[in-house]
């Protein structure tokens, strides 16, 4: 059967499924970066904060973001180019702003990237065109093909155990485990 890419979320797993609170706590142990995916909607610029950004493929250059079906962005991203903005450690207010907690006084540093809105002051950004979308249960998995990108030095914003964080000290490993 073809996965559903439209319509309401599927019904939640029944009583045999894992307890949602405990599952969230368990998944929250996995520390991630924090990104805001930005896109144009009508004449406006919109964004959604996510932790589900991941790289997929180098050739072709593909990245993935997982967006809840109930999010406004789920409709907005369908067939639309987007930018993944990897937030800097000092951008937690922006993360909240685009996570359904608008910060009225916060200046949003919009810049235009080839007709797609992106945020200034991030540690990295990737401009993507839509490639495929997949059923992900109550989320849709949007895979984008990277058209352009840039990164700078500076600490990224992290998220773990329900809290924003910044990177801690490097961990020394035996030389044989060091990456090039």
Ligand X SMILES: Cc1cc2nc3c(=O)[nH]c(=O)nc-3n(C[C@H](O)[C@H](O)[C@H](O)COP(=O)(O)O)c2cc1C
> Would you give the binding string for ligand X spanning residues 151-170, x where CB under 6 A is met?
--------x-----------
Nearest distance from C-beta of residue 120 to ligand X, angstroms: 20
Rounded to 5 degrees, φ, ψ at 11 are -60, 145
Which one, 21 or 170, has the nearer CB to ligand X? 21
Rounded to 5 degrees, φ, ψ at 60 are -70, 165
Residue nearest to ligand X (CB): 100
Is residue 48 close enough to count as binding ligand X by CB under 6 A?
Answer: yes
Is residue 66 close enough to count as binding ligand X by CB under 6 A?
Answer: yes
Q: CB under 6 A: which stretch of 8-16, 46-54, 113-121, 142-150 binds ligand X?
A: 46-54
The DSSP secondary-structure symbol of 175 reads G
Nearest to 36 by CA among 49, 45, 51, 46: 49
Provide the strand spans (E) within the chain.
32-33, 35-41, 44-50, 54-57, 62-68, 82-86, 110-113, 116-119, 124-136, 139-151, 158-160, 163-165
Nearest distance from C-beta of residue 14 to ligand X, angstroms: 23
> Would you give the binding string for ligand X spanning residues 114-133, x where CB under 6 A is met?
--------------------
Nearest distance from C-beta of residue 179 to ligand X, angstroms: 26
Nearest distance from C-beta of residue 51 to ligand X, angstroms: 4
* Token pair of 101 as six digits: 């907690």
Rounded CA-CA distance 137/177 in Å is 37
* Residue 81 CA to its chain's centroid (Å): 14
* Among 39, 63, 64, 67, interactor with ligand X by CB under 6 A: 67
Is residue 50 close enough to count as binding ligand X by CB under 6 A?
Answer: yes
For ligand X, the binding residues in 9-38 under the rule CB under 6 A are 34
């Amino acid at each position: 059967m073809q996965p559903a890419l439209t319509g309401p979320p599927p019904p939640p797993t029944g009583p045999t499924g894992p307890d949602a609170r405990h599952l969230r706590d368990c998944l929250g142990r996995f520390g991630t970066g924090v990104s805001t995916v930005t896109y144009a909607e009508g004449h406006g610029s919109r964004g959604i904060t996510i932790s589900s950004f991941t790289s997929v493929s180098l050739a072709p250059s593909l990245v993935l973001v997982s967006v809840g079906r109930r999010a406004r962005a789920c409709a907005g991203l369908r067939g639309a180019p987007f930018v993944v903005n990897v937030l800097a450690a000092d951008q937690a207010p922006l993360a909240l702003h685009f996570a359904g907690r608008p910060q009225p006084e916060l200046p949003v540093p919009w810049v235009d990237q080839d007709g797609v809105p992106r945020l200034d002051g991030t540690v990295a950004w990737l401009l993507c065109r839509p490639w495929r979308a997949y059923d992900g249960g109550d989320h849709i998995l949007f895979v984008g093909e990277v058209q352009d990108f840039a990164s700078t030095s500076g600490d990224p914003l992290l998220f773990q155990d329900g809290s924003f964080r910044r990177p801690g000290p490097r961990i020394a490993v035996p030389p044989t485990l060091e990456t090039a």
